[in-house]
Structure 1
């Protein structure tokens, strides 16, 4: 998938721009398809990091991190070790001021880490440019995709525009994967509780309502989630 959208020369001055637009649309459609084929939020993030290098003009590396106020950022997906090194070098709410700015807007960038204040970590790794794009945000937590390049000034207005379009697709796919995972977990939990209820009914000679009530009381008494109580009963029942 090309990073830059090159079209043949034409006697019609608007045609190259339109053709490039069609190529971008096709690239984003293909990327969206790959994102929606992922089965879990983790696999969605890994796919998004990989695709970011293909989609964003100028990008050579990419990573996705979670930033929580007052804690060190946590890298969730990365294309290579240089990204992990770059993001591990940031502390607190984010050095370089790059991620600090993400609390106030959807985009932040570094034009040249050797010239910008606080770019020591990136400059030491040979990364001169960075473009951060917000995927998720609430008052306490951000999820941010950052593209990196070894050339200064690698990310222009086109890269930012394409990046925002791409992250919109990623956000939708991530929400879908999260809902899918939650529904799957809910189904597993329901089945697990059903098995535990059946075991208690058989052991204690009680009906389903009384067995479920017994599970709830045990959960409250031990301050343990209901599914964990149910899993314990099922594991003991199925054990050697």
Structure 2
């Protein structure tokens, strides 16, 4: 039997956990770091928990994105290898799944035996909505049977809901930053192309459309990006199109 993890010795108010999640800086905190903090806080705020983890399921593949210790990841892996278990049911089915006493559990007998062998007699997996293509669950493990009463379930459910909002906000931040970077790149690319067109219009005494056609033709001939051709012209490098396109 594996060594029994100890419970967090100091109770931690769930409101304080909410406040801590709210203070996390998206600019300084990666998604992995946020998920780990969610697991750590869940362990502290939920009565009876000795270890916690976060399961993510994407394209029918499950992984423990964060965990507080070896027991949680070992019991997660017990379910992944069997293709069944409370954390998978909670993630995909979006309903709380609980093992009240692993010694009497009949829904997932193989996993239940693993729980008993490792000293975890009860567990609770709470859905953690992430996004449409990824399902998540917050997994809470305890050493005692019937460890999760009504208070623990209420705390875990409320915490998971708040944690899901934090995760979704993090994803929104990432998407917005990525969009901003794409827009910035597009604007800089357009500016360079416009500069190159202006140079060609001056050198070749042509209009804007013909200048763009010259750039496009040079890009095709050299198998280089149009932006690189334009940048070479602006920088004075030998990338100037030499031939006008045919009719």
Pick the TM interval, shorter chain. Answer: 0.5 to 0.7
Distance 1:180 1:50, change over 3 A: same
Contact 2:101–2:122 (8 Å) recurs in 1: yes
Alignment match, 1:115: 104
Shift of 1:90: 1.7
Q: CA 1:140–1:115 in structure 2 vs 1: closer, same or farther (change >3 Å)? A: farther
Q: 1:33 and 2:19 equivalent?
A: yes
Match of 2:183 among 183, 190, 195: 190
**Partners of 2:86 and 2:156 in 1: how far apart?**
20
Residue 202 of structure 1 deviates from its aligned partner by 4.5
CA distance in 2, matches of 1:159, 1:168: 14
Change in Cα spacing, 1:164 to 1:3, as seen in structure 2 (3 Å) is farther
Deviation at 1:147?
0.5
Query: 2 CA distance for matches of 1:101 and 1:142?
Result: 9
8 Å contact from structure 1 (residues 3, 57) kept in 2: no
> Is 1:159–2:152 an aligned residue pair?
yes
Deviations 1:33-59 (A, max 9, x none): 211224143332221100001100001
Contact 2:87 2:125 in 1 (8 A): yes
In structure 2, the gaps of 5 or more residues are 1-7, 201-207, 233-247
Unmatched runs of 5 consecutive residues or more in structure 1? 5-23, 219-228
Q: How far did 1:161 drift? A: 0.9
Q: Does 1:72 align with 2:61?
A: yes
1:51 aligns with 2:37: no
Whole-angstrom distance in 2 between the partners of 1:65 and 1:162: 19
Q: How many residues align?
A: 199
Residues 49, 77 of structure 1: 8 Å contact kept: yes
Which residue of structure 2 aligns with residue 82 of structure 1?
Answer: 71
1:154 is paired with a residue of what secondary structure? Answer: coil
Please report how far the alpha carbon of residue 139 of structure 1 lies from its aligned counterpart in structure 2 after TM superposition.
Answer: 7.5
Cα 1:147–1:101, aligned 2, differ >3 Å: closer, same or farther?
Answer: closer
CA distances 1:131-167 after superposition (whole Å, capped 9, x unpaired): 1111117776421001001222211121101111111
Pick the structure with greater CA Rg.
2
Verify the 8 A CA contact 2:97 2:126 in the aligned structure 1.
yes
- Equivalents in 1 of 2:131, 2:31: separation in Å? 18
Shift of residue 127, structure 1, vs aligned partner? 1.8
